[in-house]
Amino acid sequence: MSVAEKTRPVEHPVAARDPRIADEHGRRIRAWEVALRYLLLLAVLALTVGPFLWQLSTSLKGPHEDIFSSPPKFLPSEPTLHNYQRVADTIPVWDYAFNSLRVATANVVTNCVGSALAGYALARLRYRGRRIATLVFILAMLVPAESIIIAQFTTMRELGLNNTLIGVVLPACISAMNVLLMRNAFLNLPYEIEEAAFVDGANAWQRFLRIALPSVRGTLAVVAIFAFMGAWDDFLWPLIVLSDPSKFTLTIGLNYLHGTFANDERLVAAGTIIAVAPLIALFACLQRYFFRGVGEGAVKG
């Protein structure tokens, strides 16, 4: 205990002095324990990333290569992009990708704008009915989408928007959860700065745009990323609302590809890689917002 007491002021005293590996307490970890950790890490790595690599490998295997061999062959002997070409010949995969991109982009814009505005109103502006408005969003957040999906479908029909991409976007275009996330972000800002602007005669719109919004960019980024992922990955709702194959998004297109060409594993594999690659790239670039989003989302959800 006393040793720990002494070492506390420095973050990793042992690690700093000694190249050997230390834990977060600054205590050295025994070599066999480190080895065991790496062994476990590699095992989990194989389990979590392996399936993606296997899919990639399958998608690169040519028509004459045995993909069913036992023991399995992990690397394609003569890698080819032929299967990607075939996906494009079989289904309009680039159109589907473009549809997904449009839906996801629209979802990002509407969620960022709509939830920032509403969040600001809930957090900062004083008006009668603010509590009721907050309650509306909280209640909406608690309603599971799956339990109202049929009524959403009939609502969309009543509006004449079923089988359109707008219909795909609308129900989640300003999600209650994002509104509440933004509300919390605005509530956490110190009020005094806005007070000062208020004294200087800035109106609500100016205070929102010039002062409050730039201070919550981090949360806004989280909202944007999750809106993008949510729309790009969504399956059940587009499946229900879209019936015309020319309007499919990528996920529905993949499901269609799988349903029609289930026996052509190389083809389906290439399709899934097309769908997942952009998101993995996005994740690789913006990791810290992804992780931050999990923390914030979990607190609310």
Partner 1 sequence: MASSTTAAEVRRPSRARRPSRAPRPLRVRRHLPTSPWLFAAPGLVITGVFILYPFVSTLVNAFTDRRTLIPGKFVGLANFRELLHDDMFWIGLRNSTLYVLGVVPALVLLPLLLALLVQKNIPGITFFRSAFYTPVVASIVVVGLIWVWLLDERGLVNSLLETIGVGRVGFLSDQWLLLLSAMAVTVWRGLGYYMIIYLAALANVPRELHEAAMVDGAGAVRRFFTVTVPAVRSTMVLVGALSSVSAFKVFSEVYLMAGPDGGPAGEDTTLVMLVQRTGTGLTGRVGYASAISVVVFVVTVVLMLLVLRADRKEEA
Burial of 80 (0-12, 13-18, 19+ CB in 10 A): middle
Interface region with partner 1, contact rule CB under 8 A, candidates 86-94, 101-109, 213-221, 289-297 = 289-297
The secondary structure element, H or E, covering residue 141 is helix 130-142
- Using CB under 8 A as the binding rule, whether residue 121 contacts partner 1 is answered as yes
Minimum Å distance from CB 130 to partner 1?
7
Q: Are 251 and 275 in contact (CB under 8 A)?
A: yes
C-alpha triplet 76, 271, 56: angle, nearest 5°: 30
Alpha carbons 259 and 276: distance in angstroms, whole number:
19
- Using CB under 8 A as the binding rule, whether residue 51 contacts partner 1 is answered as yes
Q: Taking CB under 8 A as the criterion, which residues in 11-50 touch partner 1? A: 12, 21, 23-25, 29, 34, 37-38, 40-41, 44-45, 47-49
- Using CB under 8 A as the binding rule, whether residue 268 contacts partner 1 is answered as yes
Question: Which of 139, 166, 187, 193: binder of partner 1 (CB under 8 A)?
Answer: 139
Tally the residues of the chain. Answer: 301
Interface region with partner 1, contact rule CB under 8 A, candidates 53-61, 77-85, 86-94, 211-219 = 53-61
Question: Which of 1, 64, 160, 244: binder of partner 1 (CB under 8 A)?
Answer: 1
**Which residue number, 82 or 130, has a Cβ lying nearer to partner 1?**
130
Alpha carbons 253 and 88: distance in angstroms, whole number:
11
Question: Which of 9, 244, 284, 285: binder of partner 1 (CB under 8 A)?
Answer: 284
Interface region with partner 1, contact rule CB under 8 A, candidates 75-83, 85-93, 212-220, 277-285 = 277-285
Name which of 279, 253, 278, 246 is nearest 267 in CA terms.
253
Residue 179 DSSP symbol: H
- Using CB under 8 A as the binding rule, whether residue 222 contacts partner 1 is answered as no
- Using CB under 8 A as the binding rule, whether residue 109 contacts partner 1 is answered as no
Alpha carbons 243 and 259: distance in angstroms, whole number:
15
Question: Which of 14, 95, 105, 153: binder of partner 1 (CB under 8 A)?
Answer: 153
Minimum Å distance from CB 80 to partner 1?
18
Question: Which of 170, 227, 242, 270: binder of partner 1 (CB under 8 A)?
Answer: 170
Q: Are 222 and 184 in contact (CB under 8 A)?
A: no
Alpha carbons 118 and 93: distance in angstroms, whole number:
36
Q: Taking CB under 8 A as the criterion, which residues in 174-193 touch partner 1? A: 174, 176, 179, 191
Beta bridge partners of 28: 22
Minimum Å distance from CB 287 to partner 1?
6
Alpha carbons 133 and 268: distance in angstroms, whole number:
46
**Which residue number, 246 or 263, has a Cβ lying nearer to partner 1?**
263
b or e along 218-250 (b: 16 or more beta carbons within 10 Å of the residue's beta carbon)? ebbbbbbbbbbbbbbebeebbbbbbeeeebbbb
Q: Taking CB under 8 A as the criterion, which residues in 61-90 touch partner 1? A: 68-72
Question: Which of 154, 166, 187, 260: binder of partner 1 (CB under 8 A)?
Answer: 154
